[in-house]
Amino acid sequence: MQHNLGLNWSGGTTINSNVSLQADGENNRDIALTAGQTNLLVAFNAVRSNTLLMYILSNVNAVIKTNSSSAPGDTITLTAGVPWLFYQGGPACPLAADITSLYVTNSNSTTAGTVNIRCLGNF
């Protein structure tokens, strides 16, 4: 299974590149959140050492806690419209531990939203 990640810079001189990664599988989620939803449990597994690419994008400010809502392995703070990502050969994997579950919170108390997760790896 192959995926391509396009990276572009515009303003002044334009720079474009494409990162191509191949792995055995993917683990993707589109998580619907109600306004102000707190610690929605989402089934999700990813072995840190086998994850080649993780791309997360939310249309609302949100927080993802891994493995536990009270003592998370990692806490990922998302700003609406700003991608959070890492990929093999690029930014180092910021995760401290394998992921066994997610707890997702919508930081916006008045607007529902969606968190999209795309994860490529040898699972």
Q: In this prediction, what percent of the chain has a pLDDT beyond 90?
A: 93
Residue 91 has a pLDDT of 83
Q: How far is CA 8 from the centre of its chain?
A: 19
The counts of H helices and E strands in the chain are 0, 10
Mean pLDDT over 46-59 rounds to 96
Residue 12 has a pLDDT of 87
Mean pLDDT over 34-38 rounds to 98
- Tokens 């609302």 found at: 60
- Residue 103, helix vs strand vs coil: strand
Residue 114 has a pLDDT of 98
CATH topology of domain 23-121: Jelly Rolls (2.60.120)
Mean pLDDT over 55-67 rounds to 98
The CA-atom distances, in angstroms, between 6 and each of 12, 18, 19, 50, 64 are 19, 5, 6, 21, 24
Give the CA angle between residues 95, 97, 99 to the nearest 5°: 90
